[in-house]
């Protein structure tokens, strides 16, 4: 069936306008170049005369949005939704019109409205959450958690209040189909919500979540196949910020992810997460499941968005190996390793159990049907199998989200930076893994809640240098060690971006104290680089990531390794090569040694 005549005429007009874009002088050439600089890498490849794209248009702060919408409509586009959190619009536009929208001086940036996807019996005991509830009395009561995912089952015993039986889902908003009643046709969101706040009713408490007293605000952005758009996630973040006070939302869980195609300083998704963090919300995101190559070997640089951004609390996955003994825990082979693409920021921030987590099922959902072998019964009659076993960093993220709920119940005054610092400082470090694999270490819920309470009450009895704490912070690309956190350090201020060395006012960022002196971020004597670009031969040598083995080995010859260049043996590192469909990043070297075989990273 052919397209309507009106559509054809409109495209022809656009083509003429684009032909008028061809420069005859230097000034038009520069203008065209400046306009194309506003496009992300995906849109640059879509400047064709056929087809349409879903696009996010960020407008200038002073520009009239109505004028941009009018231009979009005149060019055959449609407004999908407004995204005031980041001064943006989600639109559907003919590809031929992309350069024309970019040329509008009231448009700051255009990005593809990318696709996002959904990236317990022993878990609580393993990380110490069960001890927090039993010994310290915290269960997350009063803390609101936004679950941005595929929805939630309309009623599940494990999400009901233990006293009056009312559901602990305070609000449900559907950004996919616009329905009012709660549902989850994919099943992922229900599983995630149960890891955060399930109370284990259908299993006699055995399969309870981390913070069973917390309340959930469920925002549906994934459809029945587990797919959505970043514009839906941004809209959900906007809703969360707007309703944070009314619903006491303190944490956002994002067990959804998208590929990284531009810097976190321009990506609409990461910028929306930044606005949420600036509003006082702790944004927890899954690191991604790209830690293993096609041959089964470990692969680096697979962190997904928005987990690549420094202001997000990014969670990788560990395995408790089926026991509550922490000594046998390992990193899950699938867990994405850092650094992040394009900006090369050290990630993840921390890891948590993400293998075989038993949480809530959503009857009749896609995951319930396709995951039948992994469904589990409870101890009471329910008419369906109420639990499901799943693995992924999508499962690890809500373990940390639940831990944060416990921390904020113990000390509601904690800022997002303070929360991340405490989680990292109290994490358990495993010597067999580098920082780009385990971050600061394996989450220690009991230690984190104890230190959070200590920050809130100076008289709290606590040994501040507990033997099982790693006592280190991954501040930006620096691994900070040897000091003690203090609750009044300026690093925890809302206006300080994680990883910065100075505050907005120009003061040196301080994390705490070291040897009775301020523990300053980035000081060479107390920190080392954990990514590329640092000259070997000094204290940073053992933190370098070897260009050939990708295993964190040091460069013994003292070579300076810089992204995109060769080292002394002529091994060329290729970064960012994409295939014809834009889906696969091939990263390899020119040498023939087996350690130099290319890495294939599928987004």
Q: What is d(CA 155, CA 168) in angstroms, rounded to the nearest whole number? A: 10
Question: Which token pair is 542?
Answer: 């053992």
E strand or H helix at 510:
strand 510-514
156 is a catalytic site residue: no
DSSP-derived secondary structure letter, 198: -
3-class secondary-structure state, position 185: coil
188 is a catalytic site residue: yes
What's CA 378's distance to the chain center, in Å?
A: 32
Phi, psi dihedrals of residue 150, rounded to the nearest 5°: -100, 5
Rg (CA), the chain: 24
Catalytic residue among 156, 188, 191, 215: 188
Catalytic residue among 394, 526, 540, 571: 394
Find out whether 216 and 196 touch, Cβ atoms under 8 Å.
yes
359 is a catalytic site residue: no
For the chain, what is the largest distance between any 2 Cα atoms, rounded to a whole number of angstroms? 78
Q: What is d(CA 123, CA 207) in angstroms, rounded to the nearest whole number? A: 9
Q: Which residues in 15-46 are b (16+ Cβ under 10 Å) and which e?
A: eeebeeeeeeeeeeeeebeebbebbbebbeeb
- The sheet with strand 88-94 has its strands ordered as 78-83, 88-94, 52-59, 107-112
Phi, psi dihedrals of residue 183, rounded to the nearest 5°: -160, 165
Beta strands in 1-51 (DSSP E): none
DSSP result, 349-363: SEEEE-SSEEEE--T
Catalytic residue among 149, 185, 238, 267: 149
Residue with tokens 């959503």: 362
Q: What is d(CA 22, CA 16) in angstroms, rounded to the nearest whole number? A: 10
Closest to 49 in 3D by CA, of 21, 76, 15 = 15
Provide the annotated active-site residues: 149, 188, 394
């Amino acid at each position: 069936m052919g397209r309507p005549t009106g559509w054809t005429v409109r495209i022809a007009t656009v083509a003429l306008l684009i032909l008028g874009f061809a420069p005859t002088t230097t000034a038009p050439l520069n203008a065209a170049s400046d306009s194309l600089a506003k496009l992300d890498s995906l849109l640059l490849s879509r400047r064709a005369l056929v087809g349409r794209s879903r696009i996010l248009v960020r407008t200038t702060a002073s520009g009239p949005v109505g004028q941009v919408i009018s231009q979009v409509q005149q060019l055959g586009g449609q407004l999908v939704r407004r995204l005031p959190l980041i001064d943006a619009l989600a639109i559907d536009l003919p590809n031929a019109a992309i350069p024309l929208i970019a040329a509008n001086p009231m448009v700051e940036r255009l990005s593809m409205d990318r696709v996002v996807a959904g990236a317990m019996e022993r878990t609580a005991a393993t990380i110490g959450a069960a001890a927090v509830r039993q010994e310290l009395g915290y269960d997350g009561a009063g803390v609101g958690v936004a679950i941005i995912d595929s929805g939630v089952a309309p009623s599940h015993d494990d999400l009901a209040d233990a006293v009056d039986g009312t559901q602990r889902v305070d609000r449900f908003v559907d950004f996919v189909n616009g329905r009012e009643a709660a549902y989850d046709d994919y099943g992922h969101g229900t599983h995630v919500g149960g890891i955060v706040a399930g109370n284990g009713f259908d299993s006699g408490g055995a399969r309870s979540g981390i913070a069973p007293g917390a309340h959930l605000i469920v925002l549906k952005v994934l459809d029945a196949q587990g797919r959505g758009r970043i514009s839906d996630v941004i809209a959900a973040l906007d809703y969360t910020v707007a309703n944070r006070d009314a619903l006491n939302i303190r944490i956002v869980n994002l067990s959804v992810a998208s590929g990284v195609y531009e810097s976190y300083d321009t990506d609409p998704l990461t910028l929306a997460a930044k606005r949420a963090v600036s509003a006082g919300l702790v944004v927890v995101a899954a690191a991604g499941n790209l830690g293993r190559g096609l041959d089964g070997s470990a692969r680096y640089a697979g962190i997904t968005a928005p987990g690549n951004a420094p202001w997000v609390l990014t969670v990788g996955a560990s395995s408790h190996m089926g026991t509550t003994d922490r000594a046998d825990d390992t990193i899950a082979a699938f867990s994405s390793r850092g650094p992040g693409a394009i900006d090369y920021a050290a990630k993840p921030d921390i890891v948590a159990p993400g293998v075989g987590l038993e949480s809530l099922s959503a009857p009749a959902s896609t995951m319930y049907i396709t995951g039948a072998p992994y469904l589990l019964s409870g101890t009471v009659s329910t008419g369906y199998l109420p639990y499901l076993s799943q693995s992924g960093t999508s499962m690890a993220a809500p373990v940390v989200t639940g831990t944060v709920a416990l921390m904020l119940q113990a000390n509601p005054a904690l800022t997002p930076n303070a929360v991340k610092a405490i989680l990292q400082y109290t994490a358990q470090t495993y010597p067999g893994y580098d920082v780009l694999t385990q971050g600061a270490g394996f989450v220690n819920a009991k230690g984190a809640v104890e230190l959070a309470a200590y920050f809130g009450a100076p008289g709290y009895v606590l040994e501040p240098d507990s033997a099982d704490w790693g006592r280190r912070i991954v501040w930006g690309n620096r691994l900070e060690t040897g000091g003690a956190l203090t609750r009044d350090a300026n690093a925890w201020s809302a206006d300080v971006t994680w990883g910065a060395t100075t505050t907005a006012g120009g003061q040196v960022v301080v994390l705490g104290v070291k040897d009775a002196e301020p523990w300053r971020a980035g000081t060479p004597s107390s920190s080392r680089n954990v990514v590329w670009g640092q000259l070997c031969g000094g204290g940073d040598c053992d933190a370098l990531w070897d260009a050939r083995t990708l295993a964190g080995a040091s460069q013994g010859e003292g070579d300076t390794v810089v992204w995109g260049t060769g080292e002394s043996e002529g091994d060329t590192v290729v970064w960012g090569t994409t295939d014809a469909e834009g889906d696969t990043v091939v990263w390899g070297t020119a040498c023939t040694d087996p350690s130099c075989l290319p890495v294939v990273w599928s987004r």
